[in-house]
Amino acid sequence: MEYRQLGASGLRIPVLSFGTATFGGGNEFFKAWGSTQVDEARHLIDICMEAGVNFFDTANGYSQGMAEEILGKALEGRRQEALISTKATFPTGDGPNDYGSSRLHLTKACEDSLRRLGTDYIDIYHMHGFDSNTPVEETLRTLDNLVQSGKVRYIACSNFSGWHLMKSLSVSERYGWVRYVGHQAYYSLANREFEWELMPLGLDQGVGTLVWSPLSAGLLSGKIRRGQPVPAESRLAQGGGQGPKVPDELLYNIIDALDEVAAETEKTVAQVALNWLLQRPTVVNLVVGARNEEQLRQNLDAVGWNLSPEQVAKLDAASATEPIYPYWHQRNFPMLQKKIV
């Protein structure tokens, strides 16, 4: 297993982490992802640990906290071997303070996550989204307090716009508070908008990228084929997909290119799609999920080898799309842009 430095921090994490959104199956949406319970979770965690994947990603919003509870029970006796990331900000109840990144909500959310996880510290604490109703200063001061208290080791964000992240980094610098060292973001061959602004920002500011949905909610799993119905057992068919619709022609062109490279490398379509991401700037980690041992072992085989430059170029070309403004205009003046890809 390869380990990489998380942004401008001293923390080294494996290039794969195991995502626990499949734990619990607390409602119809999460049932489409999976309904893993403690015994199976413990088995999957054993497989991860054996492969060097000691990093487990969860959130307080996954199945109303059930995912955190199951992860905590599955890691009993092994907490010191593991890295845990969890998240706050999204609603956890119907009350007026049951969501957001206020001091009140974050303090309670952190305590609740610690209790459910059965631990006294969180390795990486993510803001699951940007709360524009709470002053950035309030959020970051609260996070700094959580770090100073020892309840949190590092902070990261998720699903931020460029200005959300840049403003937050500026506020942290101004007051000498802890800063975001990671950004968990939606990125794949089928969804490359991350490259337009967030990737250059991450390079410039030392923010590492942790990729969620690296197979675009299963579109790049190898199960989707031109002219064939979506398999009934897939997450997409069961209502667990996320993100904007990918145009059919673009998707099938990407899958055609993935098929060609998979044949050349003797790897699966999913493994090729994951390996492509691991060669992108700022990408430190891919959050991979699995509903069973077979899926997990296939994902683990996405590391330990690299696509050739020619194979990367083939996938780049098949997945290229025209950027929106102002990015298309900026690309008209390449002499002003720092080359990053």
H/E segment holding residue 286: strand 283-288
List CB contacts of 326: < 8 A, sequence separation 6 or more: none
Q: Which residues are known catalytic residues?
A: 62
Q: CA 239 to CA 218: how far, in whole Å?
A: 12
Q: Which of 41, 42, 48 is nearest to 22 (CA)?
A: 41
Helical H segments across the chain, by residue range = 28-33, 38-50, 66-74, 103-117, 136-148, 162-175, 198-205, 248-265, 269-277, 293-300, 309-319, 327-330
Q: How far is 103 from 106, CA to CA, in rounded Å?
A: 5
CA dist 130 and 126 (Å) reads: 10
* DSSP-derived pairing of the beta strands 283-288 and 180-186: unpaired
Q: How many CA within 13 A on the CB side of residue 181?
A: 22
User: Under DSSP, is residue 49 helix (H, G, I), strand (E, B) or coil?
Assistant: helix
Tokens standing for 124? 């990486």
